[in-house]
């Protein structure tokens, strides 16, 4: 009899725990949706289908962040999603040097050939522009598939930016106002 009472008691406790857990979990009904997704007028394809719940669309954060030019990091301990703007954000697309306004842009080649600056490149895409052992700019060039106008944070001088124009033909141009503000052009 004692075993029966203990068994019933344990069974009732387990049953009530399962009922309590079931009562706290919420069920929602969602529908997969197919949307036309555009970024700056250009249609982009989402690999993961968005969900619609009660008329509200839920998009995959990591994928949308990437399409908008952001890196996403997730901290599991604080359950925090951190979005950082990547420096390789293309603003407008240029194709060849013939389309560059040289009153606004100067090529890295011209800085070397016409102004006597030395360019140093290394395997980490770090580019150093210097003259007579004085460093004027130090930056990391974007990935080779990035084209158009991009704004980069400089490694030197710190807390400054420079705007580059990366062309399809491999040309790299720096905005003249940036070169003047760093004392590179008169």
The whole-number average pLDDT for the span 149-174 is 80
Write a three-state SS string for the chain.
Answer: CHHHHHHHHHHHHHHHHHHHHHHHCCCCCCEECCCCEEECCEEECCCCCCEEECCEEECCHHHHHHHCCEEEEEECCCCEEEEEECCCCCCCCCCCHHHCCCCCEEEHHHHHHCCCCEEEECCCCEEEEEECCEEEEEEECCCCCCCEEEEEECCECCCCEEEEEECCCCCEEEEHHHHHHCCCCC
| More confidently predicted of 32 and 93 | 32
In the prediction, which pLDDT does 8 show? 47
The residue among 77 and 20 whose pLDDT is bigger is 77
pLDDT of res. 147: 75
CA angle 82, 68, 41 (to 5 degrees): 160
pLDDT tens-place string over residues 98-147: 677 888 888 888 888 888 888 887 766 767 788 888 888 888 877 766 77
- What pLDDT score was predicted for residue 88? 45
Quote the pLDDT of residue 107.
Answer: 86
Encode pLDDT of 39-87 as tens digits: 766 777 778 888 888 888 888 888 887 777 777 788 889 988 888 765 5
**Nearest one of 38, 30, 34 to 48, comparing CA atoms:** 34
Tell me the chain's radius of gyration from C-alpha atoms.
Answer: 28
The pLDDT value given to residue 4: 47
Statement: residue 173 has pLDDT above 80: yes
Between residues 31 and 6, which one has the greater pLDDT?
31
Predicted confidence at residue 89, as pLDDT, reads 44
């Amino acid at each position: 009899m004692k075993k029966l009472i203990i068994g019933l008691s344990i069974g009732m406790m387990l049953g009530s725990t399962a009922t309590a857990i079931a009562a706290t979990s919420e069920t929602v009904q969602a529908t997969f949706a197919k949307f036309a997704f555009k970024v700056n007028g250009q249609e982009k394809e989402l690999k993961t289908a968005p969900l619609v719940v009660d008329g509200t669309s839920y998009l995959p954060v990591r994928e949308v962040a990437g399409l908008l030019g952001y890196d996403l990091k997730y901290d599991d301990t604080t359950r925090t999603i951190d979005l950082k703007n990547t420096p390789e954000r293309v603003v407008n697309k240029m194709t060849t040097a013939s389309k560059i306004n040289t009153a606004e842009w100067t090529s890295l080649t011209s800085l070397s050939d016409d102004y006597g600056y030395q360019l140093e490149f290394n395997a980490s895409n770090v580019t150093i522009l210097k003259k007579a052992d004085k460093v004027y700019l130090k930056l990391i060039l974007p990935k080779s598939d990035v084209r158009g106008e991009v704004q980069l944070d400089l490694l030197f001088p710190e807390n400054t930016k420079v705007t580059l124009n990366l062309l399809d033909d491999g040309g790299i141009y720096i905005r003249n106002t940036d070169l003047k503000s760093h004392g590179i052009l008169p």
